[in-house]
Amino acid sequence: MRRLNLPLLVGFVLCLGLVVMLLLPEWITLPDPHMGVYIQMDGRRLRLAPFAPGEFGYVLGSDMVGRDVLSRVIYGARYTLGLAALVNLLRVAVALPAGLRAGWAGGRSGRLVRAAAVGFGSIPALAMVAMTLGGLRWLIPGQAGWLAVYVAMLVLSGAPRMAEQVRRRVEEILIMPHVEAARALGATPGRILRRHVLPLMRADILVMLSSEMAWVLLLMGQLAVFGIYVGGTVAVRGEGWVMAVEYLPEWGQMLGANRYNILRAPWIAFYPGLALGLAAATFHLLAEGFRLQGLRRG
């Protein structure tokens, strides 16, 4: 009897949930994620935002200026998952060629990749990225520049470790008999890597992509807790008050910008945090499932 690969199954189900979330705004009409209302009439009483889940038709409640949390969380999937996928792709684009080169050539490039992986691994990634972005915060003009630096730091924090994993795997494959045979037949390095090394790394790359996606989402959530996120703030001004609120419905930003409201209105930070955490767990489970599948296939 074939054994059930539970992590893969659960991962796929959760992944399906994320896909539905991405497509939901195309299927149904959701409240505008940027539309807010600060004061609402509850019978003869005036009520100020934030509104709790279930009140005034807000399924998951509203944020500090009355924007719908459910709608923002659903729209946020596009920004957050898109951003994480971009970081992941850039990490692969940097790490795969570097790891292949280091694994093939060894020597100085091998040592460089190993040293970078060890160097970046000796400081918790969160501390390193938070310190750098915290230090650079004032020097970066505009939201686009901040987004570029944020993405660059997320790429840098994981690429060396990824390149080292690729290098190790390439070294393992290069001593296999079929590679030796290809070498003896006079195949060029490019052909050997393309035809004899990369096909054997397909499963590893699949595991790596899922696992890295989970780590990127986790790091984005952790950075948000530290108040480091992308999206910008907008000042909302009323009679005698002003409030800086997050603009983009990005999960990290919604969690980070509302972390001080956890005791007053816990739902504002909780649901984006839940979405971010579940997305990270989804990709962790997928990675675990792919790893298990690879082991069973031998």
Partner 1 sequence: MLRRWLRGLGLLREWGLRLGLLVLSATIVVLVAMLPEGVVVTGEFTVSGSLGEVRTSTTEKFRVEPVDADSGGLVYGWSLAEYRRGIGEYLTGLARGTLTVDKWYGTAFTVLPLLPLLKEAWWYSFELFAGALVVGIVLGLLLGVLVLGSRGARAFGAGVSVLGVSVPDFLLILLGQQLTIWSYRNFGVRLWSVLGVQGGERGWLLPLVALSIIPMAYTARLLSTALDEAMREDYIRTARAKGVPEVWVVLKHAMRNALPRALNGMPAMLNVTLSSQLVVEVLTNHYGIGSGLMRGLSYSQPHVVASIGLIFCLWFVVMDGLAVTLRALANPQLKGGEAS
Q: Amino acid letter at 277?
A: G
**Residue 16 touches partner 1, criterion: CB under 8 A:** no
Minimum CB separation from partner 1 for residue 168, in Å? 14
How far apart, in whole angstroms, are the C-alpha atoms of residue 265 and residue 284? 30
Contacting partner 1 within 43-102 (CB under 8 A)? 46, 65-67
CB atoms near residue 56 (< 10 Å)? 16
Of 16-24, 117-125, 186-194, 201-209, the window that binds partner 1 (rule: CB under 8 A) is 117-125
**Residue 245 touches partner 1, criterion: CB under 8 A:** yes
Dihedral, 199, 204, 205, 209 alpha carbons, nearest 10: 160
How far apart, in whole angstroms, are the C-alpha atoms of residue 38 and residue 22? 28
**Residue 232 touches partner 1, criterion: CB under 8 A:** yes
Query: Which residue in 135, 186, 190, 298 binds partner 1 (CB under 8 A)?
Result: 135
Instruction: Decide: residue 210, CB within 10 A, 0-12 exposed, 13-18 middle, 19+ buried.
Output: buried
How far apart, in whole angstroms, are the C-alpha atoms of residue 257 and residue 34? 15
How far apart, in whole angstroms, are the C-alpha atoms of residue 170 and residue 88? 20
Q: Which is nearer to partner 1, 128 or 151 (CB)?
A: 128
Is residue 75 a contact partner of residue 249, using CB atoms and an 8 Å limit? Answer: yes
Helices (H), 192-239: 202-225
Query: Which residue in 41, 175, 184, 185 binds partner 1 (CB under 8 A)?
Result: 41
**Residue 149 touches partner 1, criterion: CB under 8 A:** no
x/- letters, 188..207, toward partner 1 (CB under 8 A)? --------------------
**Residue 238 touches partner 1, criterion: CB under 8 A:** yes
Query: Which residue in 95, 218, 257, 268 binds partner 1 (CB under 8 A)?
Result: 218
**Residue 216 touches partner 1, criterion: CB under 8 A:** no
Phi-psi region of 82 (alpha: psi -120 to 50; beta: other; left: phi over 0): alpha
Minimum CB separation from partner 1 for residue 70, in Å? 16
Minimum CB separation from partner 1 for residue 86, in Å? 20
Query: Which residue in 37, 93, 105, 181 binds partner 1 (CB under 8 A)?
Result: 37
Q: Amino acid letter at 162?
A: M
Is residue 196 a contact partner of residue 185, using CB atoms and an 8 Å limit? Answer: no
Minimum CB separation from partner 1 for residue 177, in Å? 25
**Residue 274 touches partner 1, criterion: CB under 8 A:** yes
**Residue 294 touches partner 1, criterion: CB under 8 A:** no
Contacting partner 1 within 250-269 (CB under 8 A)? 255, 259-260, 262-263, 266, 269
